[in-house]
Amino acid sequence: MSSSLVLHAVPGIPMVEPGDDLAELIIAALEGAELSLQHDDVLVLAQKIVSKAEGRYAYLNDIEPSAQARELAEQCDKDPRHMQVLLNESREVIRRRPGVVIVEHVLGYVHANAGIDRSNIRSDDDNPRLLLLPENPDRSAAQLRDTLKARLGLSVNIVINDSAGRAWRNGTLGFAIGTAGFEALENRIGEQDLYGRPLEVTEVAVADELAAAASFVMGQGDEALPLVLIRGAKLRPSSDGSKALIREREKDMFR
Amino acid sequence: MSSSLVLHAVPGIPMVEPGDDLAELIIAALEGAELSLQHDDVLVLAQKIVSKAEGRYAYLNDIEPSAQARELAEQCDKDPRHMQVLLNESREVIRRRPGVVIVEHVLGYVHANAGIDRSNIRSDDDNPRLLLLPENPDRSAAQLRDTLKARLGLSVNIVINDSAGRAWRNGTLGFAIGTAGFEALENRIGEQDLYGRPLEVTEVAVADELAAAASFVMGQGDEALPLVLIRGAKLRPSSDGSKALIREREKDMFR
């Protein structure tokens, strides 16, 4: 059986401000692009717009760095206030070297700089600010799904993606930090290959594959577009969010 | 500017045997699916069909395991002959534990089991065989690109993908082991964000994003389809292959 998948980068999402209603912005952007949402579509949102709508800013002038933050700033050649924000967002510093800090985020992701973003953020010189990850991206995704269902009468799947580096390979790649509506990690245990043998690969990170695909499309225009509509994905319904994608610390050989 | 990307899983690739002409199989499959190749399309091939066409089999009965292979087999609860094949394909064993061996492949990838595959392989019980990665996937990709250009008069981009686990996150994900025609790692140094500041993220693993997207589509049908046509990707021409995606050992903090 053949399958195809279509991804549209959706233009028309304005600069998002704290308190903005993302569902409303998304519905307007889709209408403006003459794209009508269908049942089982996937919407992929760049983390930035979710964080901005949630007002997830930290203002550096409000931050008093601890001794630990000062030490980390020294080791990594960074602003101590920035390192304090990073420590507040992290469970553990996993690797450090000049210019790079890799942490386990409080949400469980191993992520350079705890996913904290300085680019594309309007900041006056007087009080620069950082943008943090959403407080609970699975919850944000689930709420958006519920709101779209209430307003449009349609069940869509949601992915919130971010772009980050990884071990062993150069370059950043989109990955899923929050999902709603589907199995983020598909368990194929018990399925068989063409010869009737059990599949060797038993868990597939489908949410990350979709997040990576959307990240590619987001970066394709003259400027990055933070919303991608994916049509044609066959996903397994689930209300579990994306936590299954995070490897438990004790099973991780690369900490 | 809006962008869209379309991915087609192409049915009709038969069981591939050593010596098969992949370009011919691909042209026939595309015709059978009424898909006509266009300039700048991307074709993503599952590593398996490239390896099979190249006859990259190792027959276990031909293998005499070394002391090192026997020790590794003991530690990891694997067949010593299988471990000998793995060692032959590897520069270094990076992590080992029962059921898992993670190596640096001779081609530079950090890869569980050196990318060696046992599933979907026809093997009589008398002499089971393993399927290795292509000898030089960038070369395989470049040759296929050249052959398609000679036969069809069209320049297409090629990705050979494989699916593998990674650090920190559960589930497998498609990634690029060979590319031809485009910049696998896009360098965006010097580009600016919406506020005119230099972008923080300066290298994007576009080949891996396409490989992950294709891997999703390959797994969507009733059986895995090993060929995906991607249309609409804006890529930067390059003849450098995929080596830039591999982080140099001395820059890698997770070995």
Q: Which of B117, B175, B204 sits opposite A219 (nearest CB)?
A: B204
Whether residue B1 is predicted with pLDDT greater than 50 in this model: the reply is: no
Mean pLDDT of A86-113: 93
Rounded to a whole number of angstroms, the distance from the CA of B186 to the nearest CA of chain A is 8
Complex ipTM: 0.94
Question: Residue A40, Cα to own-chain centre: how many angstroms?
Answer: 20
**Residue A200 pLDDT level (bands cut at 50, 70, 90):** low
Architecture of B57-131 per CATH?
Alpha-Beta Complex (3.90)
Rounded to a whole number of angstroms, the distance from the CA of B148 to the nearest CA of chain A is 23
Assigned CATH topology for domain B6-47+135-246: 60s Ribosomal Protein L30; Chain: A; (3.30.1330)
Contact B215 A201 (CB under 8 A): no
Task: Give the whole-angstrom CA distance, residue A16 versus residue A140.
Answer: 15
Contacts (Cβ under 8 Å, ≥6 apart) of A245: A176, A184, A185, A205, A207, A208, B169, B170, B171
Contact A170 B253 (CB under 8 A): no
**B103-147: per-residue pLDDT in tens?**
999 999 998 888 998 765 555 567 789 999 999 999 999 999 999
**A146-193: per-residue pLDDT in tens?**
999 999 999 999 999 999 999 999 999 999 999 999 999 998 877 766
pLDDT at position A1 is 45
CA distances from B37 to B154, B156, B199 (A): 8, 8, 35
Q: Which of A95, A100, A203 sits opposite B172 (nearest CB)?
A: A203
Rounded to a whole number of angstroms, the distance from the CA of A142 to the nearest CA of chain B is 21
Contact A7 B4 (CB under 8 A): yes
Give B52's contacts in chain A (Cβ within 8 Å).
Answer: none
Mean pLDDT of A206-216: 98
The DSSP element (H or E) to which A123 belongs, if any, is: none
CB B13 within 8 A of CB B225: yes
Residue B235: CB atoms within 10 Å? 20
**A33-66: per-residue pLDDT in tens?**
999 999 999 999 999 999 999 999 999 999 999 9
Contact B220 A233 (CB under 8 A): yes
Rounded to a whole number of angstroms, the distance from the CA of B1 to the nearest CA of chain A is 6
Single pTM value for the model:
0.94
Q: Please state the domain extents for chain A.
A: 6-47+135-246, 57-131
Give A209's contacts in chain B (Cβ within 8 Å).
Answer: 173-174, 212-213, 215-216
Q: Shortest CA distance to A141 belongs to which of A44, A244, A48, A18?
A: A44
Contact A253 B109 (CB under 8 A): no
